[in-house]
Structure 1
Amino acid sequence: MKTGVLSRRRMLTGAASAAVAAPILRARPARAATKLRFLMNWFAEAEHGGFYQAKATGLYKKAGFDVELMQGGPQLNAVQLLLGGEADVILGYDLQLLSGIEKALPMRAIAASFQTDLQGLMTRPNVKSFAELKGRKVYIANSGYTTYWPWLKKKFGFTDEMAAPKGVGLQTFFADPTSAAAGYITAEPYYAKQRNEDVNFLLFSNDGWPTYTNPLVASTDYLAKHKDLIRPFLKASMEGWKSYMADPTPGNNLIKQMNPKMDDGQIDFSLARMREIKTLESGDAAKLGLGCMTEERWRKTRDFMVEVNLLKPETDWKQAFTTEFIDDVHVMPS
């Protein structure tokens, strides 16, 4: 990534009289852009589109930042890199963040990427509700056992006997017509489409799953030392998302440059699903603006985690987030 600079203002003087010497006005040197390392939670994709759009269209540069967008991946421990000083901001996960607060890890969410969580269960078209899946096989990732699976057990009576490893390429799901597979509305249904398989997708959020998607997280040390940077960074990021949803071309070009394996079909599918479920502008965002978070929503996530023994009741859960920065941003949905 090249280092950007703030635009330089030139000061022009009128023509000098031959008899009167004009004073020399020197332009002040441009101030170097502030470097900020932003680590994604996966390889470049449409689900990160607003951030790539902010980079590609110069929104970050205009706000005074040289943002390095770093790709994530399955082998990266984002929290470890954040607390080790290798990243300034990361895309995190609500439940992981609250568990970290229980362990006194010094980090805090500063905004939410999406209001509607993209996670859910992919089923055959005839399955219209989670309740209909009771007793059937549900293929899930290992991380699901300590996130959404306890919620499904509590709310819909699922049992551990129903859960099975998701497997590579969703082969287990395609081989079992009565089953369901956990995943993201922007991803797994696309793989099914590639196989000409008709599927339905049940979003957890539509049945009370409380978490946000991809909250932006910084260490408490970074927030203390760079408090003045957070609002302009968040504003540029949310303006990037608004711009991306209107015309994603610049962001998509950068996504494909960063991740050559990402194809137009996947990007278009993901973006269409994000628009369909209004993941950016649903809920509180309609009144509070893109990226907003509320204490009430975080409380619901905390209460769920305590109820299913994923979080100790005495954990100071309010330390997991702060709304002081995003509350003043107010980038409203179109």
Structure 2
Amino acid sequence: MNTVFRFAALALMLTTGAAQAQDKVSFATNWKAQAAHGGFYQALADGTYKKFGLDVTILQGGPQVNNRPLLPAGRIDFLMTGNLLHSFDNVKNGVPTVVVAAMFQKDPQALIAHPGQGYEKFEALKSAPLALIAKDGQFSWWQWLKVTHGFKDEVLKPYNYNLGPFLANPKAIQQGYSVAEPIYVENQGHFKPVVHLLADHGFSTYSTVIETRTDTVKNKPDLVQRFVDASIIGWVNYLYGDRKAANAMMMKDNPEMSLAEMEASVALMKQQGIVDSGEAVARGIGAMSDARVADFYAQMVKAGLYKAGEVDLSKVATLQFVNKRVGLDVKAKLAGR
């Protein structure tokens, strides 16, 4: 082998090795694996993260697992959180994190009721004699319901994630995740509940947001962009493509989840416009706007959860990585199959 050829071969090996190098990324969710996490698992299962140069590990949350402190501590790179209330709290408390994408245009938080009891209209729910609401809900969105829609504390009883009390009382209303509890009610109670999304009545927060550290945005913007883009494409493929591998991966992580439940949840996400609606239709999944963040904060100030000016909204979220129509071409191809 002559010297020139040897150097050319070495250069090719080095180039190939660099091309195959993957940035290791740890991403934590806020609950056990389920269809509401499907797009992230899809990007892992179908190789989308790998195509974007990412070696992603997903760490699921759960009732005994709190992944939130891991992000500011630098033990994970990205975190999936519920809605903007968590992000407002982080900024208020000086926690150096920022939202880089919002995978759900609508928060799936809902109130559910028995059919045929006069609760088909949202306004009637405030007259229910019993409202089963978990403690964290009582101190957050219930306060908004009181101020905005006239609900009363007198009817409150704690919801302990047991459907028994709700199923036993046809006049009761209960909180629920709109892509989960209605499925459980139908399976256990053998009826379709009335479901009212708070998002359809003014609760304007984004949900299933991706947070990272502010120093990651500053020092590794390319890494953030690739993770956001790949996650968006993962969600497009999960909703509209072949999701068998992602479902299998989630059932392995969370054996309590069934395929039938996940497919029913996907159908509800599509029906309710949880992921792909609003700003996402034209700008792509993950879309956000400063105006909507400000609107939701104003609502929470009115509800008494924060004081005006208490949170620097410029630090809550950055639009640097979204609103770029990522995934719209993939959706168009899948729709045209």
TM-score normalized by the length of structure 1 = 0.90
Q: Which residue in 1 is equivalent to 2:135?
A: 142
Q: Which shifted more, 63-72 or 76-85?
A: 76-85
Contact 1:90/1:218, CA 8 A, preserved across alignment? yes
Q: Distance in 1 between matches of 2:147 and 2:90?
A: 23
CA contact (8 A) 2:25 2:55 kept: yes
Contact 1:60 1:237 in 2 (8 A): yes
TM-score (norm 2): 0.89
Cα pair 2:100 2:318 within 8 Å, conserved:
yes
In the alignment, is the contact (CA less than 8 A) between 1:122 and 1:202 conserved in 2? Answer: yes
Query: In structure 2, what is the equivalent of residue 81 of structure 1?
Result: 70
Q: Distance in 2 between matches of 1:113 and 1:169?
A: 28
Counterpart Cα distance in 2 of 1:146 and 1:319: 24
The code of the aligned residue for 2:243 comes to P
Q: 1:132 to 1:86 in 2, by over 3 A?
A: same
Partner of 1:165: 158
Answer 1 or 2: which has greater helix percent. 2
Q: CA deviation at 1:84?
A: 1.0
- Residue 129 of structure 1 deviates from its aligned partner by 2.1
Q: Distance in 1 between matches of 2:191 and 2:254?
A: 27
- Give, in whole Å, the separation in 2 of the partners of 1:100 and 1:62: 32
Q: 1:319 aligns with which of 315, 320, 328?
A: 315
Give the 3 Å change call, closer, same or farther, for CA 159–254 of structure 1 in structure 2.
same
* Secondary structure, counterpart of 1:292 in structure 2: coil
The DSSP-based 3-state class of the residue aligned with 1:113 is: strand
SS of alignment partner, residue 112 of structure 1: strand
Unmatched 5+ stretches in structure 2:
333-337
Q: Could you say which residue in structure 2 is the equivalent of 1:13?
A: none
Which residue of structure 1 aligns with residue 30 of structure 2? 41
Map of 2:238 onto structure 1:
244
CA–CA separation in structure 2 for the residues paired with 1:169 and 1:324: 41
Of 59, 66, 89, the residue aligned with 1:99 is 89
1:245-285 deviations in whole A, cap 9, x for unaligned? 12211211111122122111211111110111122220011
Runs of 5+ in structure 1 lacking a partner? 1-15
Q: Supply the AA of the counterpart residue of 1:77.
A: N
Letter of the 2:280 partner, please give it: A
Could you tell me which amino acid in structure 2 is paired with residue 292 of structure 1? A
Residue 11 of structure 1 aligns with which residue?
none
What does residue 174 of structure 1 align with? 167
CA shift, 1:318, in A, is 2.1
Measure the CA separation in 2 of the matches of 1:117 and 1:43. Answer: 18
Give, as a single letter, the amino acid of the residue that structure 2 aligns with 1:96. Answer: H
Instruction: Report how far residue 107 of structure 1 moved.
Output: 0.7
Q: Distance in 1 between matches of 2:26 and 2:282?
A: 30
- For residue 299 of structure 1, report the CA deviation from its aligned partner: 0.8
| Corresponding pairs, count | 316
Cα RMSD (Å) of the superposition?
Answer: 1.8
Q: In the alignment, which residue of structure 1 is the partner of 2:218?
A: 224
Specify which of 326, 331, 337 is matched with residue 330 of structure 1: 326
Which residue of 53, 60, 70 corresponds with 1:71? 60
The DSSP-based 3-state class of the residue aligned with 1:138 is: strand
Quote the sequence identity (%).
33
**One-letter code of the match for 1:321?**
A
Kindly indicate whether the alpha-carbon contact (under 8 Å) linking 1:138 and 1:179 is maintained by their aligned counterparts in 2.
yes
1:273 to 262, 265, 268: 268
State the distance in 2 between where 1:45 and 1:231 align.
Answer: 25
Match of 1:296 in 2: 291
Distance in 2, Cα, partners of 1:250 & 1:184? 24
Equivalent residue, structure 2, for 1:128? 120
Query: Does 2:256 align with 1:261?
Result: yes
Partners of 2:66 and 2:255 lie apart in 1 by 23
Larger Rg: 1
Cα-to-partner distance string for 1:201-242 (whole Å, 9 max, x where unaligned) = 111111111011110001112222211211111111111111
Tell me the CA shift for residue 130 of structure 1.
2.5
AA matched with 1:268: E
